[in-house]
Structures are given as structure tokens and as C-alpha cells.
Structure 1
Amino acid sequence: MNKTDRMLAIILELQRKGMRRAEDLASTFETSVRTIYRDVQALSEAGVPIIGAPGTGYSLMEGYFLPPISFSVDEAVALLIGADFIEQRFDREYGERARASRGKIEAVLPESVRRAANEVRETIKLPSTLEEAIDEAERARVAKLREAILMRRKVSFDYTKAKSGLVAHRHSIRTARPYGLSFVYGSWVLVGFCELRQEIRHFRLSRMTGLQDLDETFAFPPDFRMSKYVPADDRPIEVRVLASPRIADRVREAKYFYIVSKEDVHDGLLVVLRVRTPEDVLQWVLGWGSEAEVLEPEALRQRVRTEAERMLGRY
């Protein structure tokens, strides 16, 4: 990063985050503290009202705001696609805000940049919804949970969870302190403290019904960090399945929570899934019949073999 770009970035950093120490700025921009001192001095001489407090750091004078800056084509595409994603996957309120933001971004772009950005954007499309009714229900849950998180209100809901293998679903009423929402592998997940289990758990929104916010409030744990609670962390087992060329296209297009990657190989499509227990995907594997082969783990191969023998015994 050259000096001019770094000086502009320093202003934006102070504008976004308020007080920042020279050491923090040096770490952010991968330069020396001495260089930050020189940059800040140059900005001050250029008329930028930077306030320095010994032992505390730098901040911008209250009321100072950097005028809007121009976007490159790539930057504009990133912002517009981000607005598209929010419109599709968040609740209606944020969807409307995303549309309004997209309009404002497009309005301030020079004609040449707007035209080029739209051309690139046309080649990058987010997948459209396959089950609109389900998505609408999930959007409503996102809206209610987002408000409950901001207002620090507990929620209750009926939660459906499948046991391993072919056992029927289980239903339970849960009361939770909602801490955050995460979008993982195409599904929204609530991270919150479950009062039934007395620990932080993950709840897929698609498995919730009867969601209600309660009058009872809660306080966030002082040491809670959303980044520590990634839903995929509790799926330690890797499953590898080979799909034959006859079903490769259908499997490639399939939307399935446990899939983490798909790779074309010489004899079909290699699908990698991550699960808590191999039986989580037993029904999915059996659904493809003889066109899908479990490569590993051996425990799941044996389970498929057992189910196939039971099926054969019925005919």
C-alpha cells in the first residue's frame, strides 16, 4: 500500500472505529509505528482534524466526516452482490433496506462504472429460492430472532430433531437466550443458551415452529464471542460418497445441509459431508440407491449394507 492509499485508509479506520492507537494502526496496515506518526502528521498538516491523546490514541474531531469516495468496478460489484444476498436471505425489513441501499449505490456511480458493474454482476448470480414458502417462514423467524437478540429477550419454540438413522423425529419445547444468528451451508442457525440443556446450543431455524418472544430479558455473558461458536464445529466425522455419472448432475445440484464439497472424478462425483454421527446421512445415501457408494467411514458402509439386506428381505 502506498502512502496516499494508507493515509486515506487511516481516515476511514478512524471514521469507522473511533479512537485507535498508533500501534493498532501500524498492525492493521503492516507498517511501523514511526510511519503512522508521519502519516498522521501529514494528514493534520493537510487539514484533517485528528486529535491525539497521549497514552490513548488518535481520533477524528466530532462532526468530521470524509465525503463519499468513488468505487472501482470490483468494489461496486461486491457491494451490489452483497445487497442481493441480504435481499434474498434476510428478513423483509433488511431486504427493503438492501434494495434502498442498492439504489443509492447505483445512483452515485459514474455511468461507465455502473454499466461495467452491471455487466459483471449479470455473470454472478446467487441461487434463487427453490421452496419459497419455506424461505418466507424462515425469513419471519430471522426477523423475530434478530429483534429478540437486540432487545435481549428470551424466546421459546417447539424444536424438531431427528434421532440417528431411521428413528422418528423428536419434539421438545425449548426456551433459549438468543445470542446470534449464523448462515451455514445455506441454512440459518441460532446460537443461544438452551435453558433445557443448560448450555450454549445451535438450533436450525428450519426445525422451529411456534416461535415466540418472551417478556423475560437476559444479559450476554461477558466472555461470549460469536466467532467461538461455529455450528460446523460439532460435526467432526467426514463421510465420502461416490455418486455415479448417471446421478452426478442431480447430486451436484442438490442442496443438503451436511455437504461441504463436491468434486468431479473420473468415475463420477465425489461428495464430502461432515456429520456428528454417520447415521445422520443414512437416509440420504439410501435415497440414491445403488448409484451412490459410501467410501468411508466403514461404519456407515456396514450400516448401508445392513439396511439393504433388510430391504431385500421384504421382497
Structure 2
Amino acid sequence: MNKTDRMLAIVIELQRKGVLRAEDLAARFETSIRTIYRDMQALSEAGVPVSGAPGTGYSLMEGYFLPPVSFTADEAVSLLVGADFVELRLDAVYGAKARSSQEKIEAILPENVREETARVRSVIRLLNERAARTRGQEKETFEQLREAILQKRKIHFRYSKTLPEPDGNRHSERTADPYGLVFSQGAWVLIAFCGLRRDIRHFRLSRMKELVVLEERFEVLPGFRLQDHQSADDRHVIVRMLVDPAVADRIQEADNFYMESFEPGKEGWLATFRVRRIEELLQWTLGWGAAVRVLEPESLRERMREEIEKMLEHY
């Protein structure tokens, strides 16, 4: 980064953060503290109202605001495509804000940058093919959860699991404290403290039904930060399968969530998975037919035999 770009970036950073020490700026822009001192002197000489207090840091004079900066075509594309994603994946309120943001960004772009941006965007497309079936309900759920999270209000909902619990039930009633929303593995997930399990749990929005935002409020557990949160990995069952080379590419493209490794061998490709329960891979494995052979555990091999025998009864 040259000196001019760095000085502009320093002003933007001060505008964003308020007060920053020379050490913070040096670390941010990967330069020396002495260089930051010189940059501050140059900014002051250029008329930018920068003030510095020993032991506190630098700040911009109250009321100063940097005029809108110009975007390169790539920067504009990043913002506009990001707005497309927001419109597709978030609720109607943010969808409208995303469209408004796009219009404002496009309005301030120089004509040559706007034309280049339009050309680049013309070869990028975000698909939302599930909209007709589930996205409408999921967006409504997202909007309700967003408000509940911001207002710190408890929620009640009916939740469906892909596999039944040990008692045979797939559906349960939950009351929870919603902490945050995460987009993971192509789906929105709610991170919440579950009153039933008395612990932090993850809930896919697509499986949440009859959501009600309650009047009762909650407090986030001390020390919890959504940005630092990592779910406990309770996938302790190791599954190994031998894959016919003829379908190896297709299995790689399928990108199974539970797959840990996929390596070539003498008889075929060896796929290793980690799951909570063997049932999580049962239907997926059956779907590949004779092209996939379970090596271990024996419990999954037995379940495969049982399912195949049931299938034979139908044919």
C-alpha cells in the first residue's frame, strides 16, 4: 500500500473507530509507528483535523466527515453482489434495504466504473431455486428471530429432527433464548440456549414451525460471543466405505457434510466419515447402490443388509 492509499485508509479507520493509538494503526497497516507519526503530520498539513492525546490515541475532530470515496469496479461488484445475497437470504426488510443500497452505490459510480461493474455482474448469478417451496416461510422465520434476538425476547417453537430421538419422537416443543443467526452449509441456523436441554443448541430455521416470540426477556450467558462460538463436536462414530472409481468424482462433488477424507487406493477410493449415529449415512449410502461398499462399522453393514432385504420384498 502506497503512502496516499494508506493515509486515506487511516482517515477511514479513524472515522469508523473513533480513537486509535499509533500502535494500533501500525499493526493494522503493517508499518512502523514512526511511519504513522509521519502520516499524521502529513494529514494535518493537508487540512485534515486530526488530534492526538498522549496515552489515548488519534481521533478526528468532531463533525468532520470524509466525503464519499470512489470505488473500483471490483469493489463495487463485491458490494452489489453482497447486496444480492442479502436480498436472497435475509428477510423482506433487509431485502428492501439491500436494493436501496444498490441504487445508492450505482448512483455515485463514475460512468466507466458503472459500465465495467455491470459487465462483471452480468457473468455472476446467485440462484434461489428453493424460493417457491420454502424460502418464503424461512424468511418470515428469520425476520421474527432477528427481532427477538435484538430485543432479547424468548421464543417458543415446534422443532422437527431428521432422525428420531431414542424415544422414537422426531418432533418436540422448545422454549429458547435466541443468541444469533449463522449461515452454514447452505442453510440458516439459530444459535440459542435451549430450555429443554439446558444448554446452547443449534436449530435449522427450515425445521422450525409455529414460532412465537414471547414477552419474557432473557440475558445472554456470561462470556458468550457469537463470533467465538464453536459447537461441540459429538460425532464419535467412524465410518469407512470403499467407493467405485466410476463414481468417485460425483461423490466428491456431493460434498457430504460428514466426510472427513477421500483417498485413492488399490481397490477404489476410501471414504472416511464421522457421524453421531449410523442412521445419518444410511439413506445416503443406499442411494449410491453397488458403487459404494461399507467396510465398517459392522452395525452399519447390518443395517444396510436389513434395508436391502426390505427392498427385495417390494420387488
Question: Could you tell me the TM-score, scaled by structure 1's length?
Answer: 0.85
State the one-letter code of the partner of 1:4: T
- How far, CA to CA, are the matches of 2:16 and 2:232 in structure 1? 31
**Distance (whole Å) between structure 2 residues aligned to residue 70 and residue 261 of structure 1:** 44
Q: Does 1:153 align with 2:153?
A: yes
In the TM superposition, what is the alpha-carbon distance from 1:100 to its structure 2 partner? 0.9
Query: How do residues 39-50 of structure 1 correspond to structure 2 at under 5 angstroms?
Result: 39-50=39-50
1:92-122 Cα distance to aligned partner (Å, 9 max, x none): 1101111111111111112221121122122
Deviations 1:117-176 (A, max 9, x none): 122122222232235231111111110111111111111111112337999552221111
CA contact (8 A) 1:156 1:212 kept: yes
Q: Which letter maps to 1:159? A: Y
- Paired with 2:57 and 2:168, the residues of 1 have a C-alpha distance of 59
The Cα shift of 1:281 comes to 2.4
Aligned to 1:287: 287
Partner deviation per Cα, 1:64-113 (whole Å, 9 max, x = no partner): 11111111111111111101100100001101111111111111112221
Work out the CA distance in 1 between the residues paired with 2:214 and 2:19.
Answer: 37
Residue type of the alignment partner of 2:303: T
Quick check: 303-312 or 268-277, which moved more?
268-277
Matches within 5 A, 1:248-287: 258=257, 275-287=275-287
Map of 1:1-315 to 2, 5 A cutoff? 1-163=1-163, 169-231=169-231, 242=243, 245=246, 258=257, 275-293=275-293, 298-299=296-297, 303-312=300-309, 314-315=312-313
CA distance in 1, matches of 2:166, 2:222: 41
Q: Output the CA distance in 2 between the equivalents of 1:237 and 1:288.
A: 21
Percent identity (aligned): 53
Q: Distance in 1 between the 2:194 and 2:208 partners?
A: 14
Cα 1:244/1:231, change in 2 over 3 Å: farther
- Partner of 2:19, secondary structure, is coil
Alignment TM-score, normalising by the size of structure 2: 0.85
Q: For the residues of structure 2 that align with 1:36 and 1:236, how far apart are their CA atoms?
A: 51
Which AA in structure 2 matches 1:110? P
* SS of match in other structure, 2:149: helix
Residue 200 of structure 1: SS of its match in structure 2? strand
Q: Give 1:311's aligned amino acid.
A: I
The structure number with the bigger radius of gyration is: 2
User: Take 2:244 and 2:61, find their aligned partners in 1: how far apart are those partners?
Assistant: 61
* In structure 2, distance between residues paired with 1:144 and 1:24: 38
Question: What value does the CA root-mean-square deviation take over the aligned residues?
Answer: 3.3
| CA–CA distance in structure 1, aligned partners of residues 92 and 260 of structure 2 | 31
Deviates more, 1:68-77 or 1:262-271: 262-271
Kindly state the Cα deviation for residue 312 of structure 1 after the two structures are TM-superposed: 2.3
One-letter code aligned to 2:223? D
